[in-house]
Chains A and B, each alone.
Chain A
Amino acid sequence: MTRRVKQRYLALKIESAESFEEEDIKDAVWSAVIQLFGEYGASQAGLFFVQYDKQRKEAVLRCSHKALPMVQASIASVTKMKDKPAAIHVLRVSGSLRALRKKVSKQFL
């Protein structure tokens, strides 16, 4: 029997003077993972974009529990999006989406 793969949910804050589409964020994160860890590393990350709030510049991303340090390092290495200076900060990490939303709302509301 295959064991269930543990997941981690990451709340992200996009910091830039510009406003970006969801595709731009996805491109930036995927490129960063591939640049730092290669296609093999990216294949193990299990990246999935859960949601993106363009107004608040916040996103939620899911990745494999084992690949969390790799994904965090890649996200931290993003300095540009569509050739514009930008940064992505990880606000919180959680094992479930519900707990993540609770933690983020506690922190910022």
Chain B
Amino acid sequence: MTKFVDLHLCAPLRDIEQIKKMVTKSFELGYRLVGIPLPSNVELDEIERLRKICSEAGLDFVSRVDITPKNTQELLANLRRLRRKFEVVSVLCMSKPIARQAAKDRRVDVLSFPVAKPRNRFFDSAEAELASESSASLEIDMAPLLSLEGFLRIRLISSLRREVAIAKSFHVPVVISSGAANDYLLRGPHDYSALAMLFDMDSSLAFNALSEVPLCIVERNRLKLSSDFVAPGLRVVRRRDP
């Protein structure tokens, strides 16, 4: 059975009831693994509390951090500081140098671009080439597609169509996430697959973007963060009894 993943559930961290509501709704809609973005200075207790809420609802929790650096130096400093603390690292690319640096850095899992400014969506062929070499994925949040109307939505769909075509031709993995801040913006995997048709993503690619691609990112990072990991392709399988 396909395991659906929502890597970007933007639940308000201060409101426990809302988190519980959104997490329960995600489970009802068919997701089995959710990523909730956390502040970079989050305490371990907070992560454990969220993990417990998710496991009570039947979901696997993924800790995620969204970095919005002002320049490349800040990006590198943040990656150095946060990479080993979170399971998924996403970079919101606000400028071209940041986008290029994030695309070539192997510590970045997910690249996302601002929705409000289509000119700041720097996912072009050069970016895609760098991303495909470093195995970074392009993230598409679906909440703006639902909440925007008229000209803004038309522009967003057009940008997404162009980006998906570029990603396909450079074999850059695409991740579809909800990006929902409330439960009315949450939709099931089949609904997202139907919506992905708007930007020329066929259903098999859309289901891949909702299951295999994000699952692969999480599993890869969990392996790297485990104490048994030594280097890529090398891990401890057994320890000598003390």
A residues engaging B (CB < 8 A)? 15-16, 35-36, 69-70, 72-73, 75-77, 79, 85-87, 89-90
Q: Count chain A CB atoms within 10 A of each CB in B183, B186, B195 and give the residue with the most.
A: B195
Indicate if the CB atoms of A87 and B186 lie closer than 8 Å: yes
Indicate if the CB atoms of A75 and B191 lie closer than 8 Å: yes
Given A76-B146, A77-B146, A79-B146, verify A69-B184 contact (CB < 8 Å): no
Range class of the B interface residue count = 20 to 34
- Distance between A109 CB and nearest chain B CB, rounded to angstroms: 16
**A76: chain B residues within 8 A (beta carbon):** 146, 187, 191-192, 194-195
Nearest residue in A to B150 (C-beta to C-beta)? A35
Indicate if the CB atoms of A72 and B146 lie closer than 8 Å: no
**A75: chain B residues within 8 A (beta carbon):** 191
Q: Residue B188 contacts which of A35, A77, A90 (CB distance < 8 angstroms)? A: A90
Q: Is the interface of B mostly helix, strand, loop or mixed?
A: helix
Indicate if the CB atoms of B190 and A72 lie closer than 8 Å: yes
Nearest residue in B to A73 (C-beta to C-beta)? B194
Docked CA distance A77–B146 (Å): 5
Contacts A75-B191, A89-B191 supplied; 16 other A-B pairs, CB < 8 Å: A15-B184, A35-B149, A69-B197, A70-B197, A72-B190, A72-B194, A73-B191, A73-B198, A76-B191, A76-B194, A79-B146, A86-B184, A87-B183, A87-B184, A90-B188, A90-B191
12 pairs from A and B in contact (CB 8 Å cutoff): A15-B183, A69-B197, A73-B191, A76-B146, A76-B192, A77-B195, A79-B184, A79-B185, A87-B184, A87-B185, A87-B187, A90-B190
**B203: chain A residues within 8 A (beta carbon):** 69
Indicate if the CB atoms of B145 and A77 lie closer than 8 Å: yes
Indicate if the CB atoms of A73 and B195 lie closer than 8 Å: yes
**B186: chain A residues within 8 A (beta carbon):** 87
**B182: chain A residues within 8 A (beta carbon):** 85
The answer to the question of B217 belonging to the interface, with a C-beta cut-off of 8 Å to chain A, is: no
Docked CA distance A89–B190 (Å): 10
Considering the complex, which residues of chain B in the window 148-201 have a beta carbon less than 8 Å from any beta carbon of chain A? 149, 182-188, 190-192, 194-195, 197-198
Docked CA distance A75–B195 (Å): 9
Q: Residue A89 contacts which of B147, B187, B195 (CB distance < 8 angstroms)? A: B187
Docked CA distance A69–B191 (Å): 9
**B184: chain A residues within 8 A (beta carbon):** 15-16, 79, 85-87
- Nearest first, the 3 A-B pairs at minimum CB distance are A72-B194, A76-B191, A73-B194
Nearest residue in A to B203 (C-beta to C-beta)? A69
Docked CA distance A89–B184 (Å): 10
Nearest residue in A to B145 (C-beta to C-beta)? A77
Given A15-B184, A76-B146, verify A89-B194 contact (CB < 8 Å): no
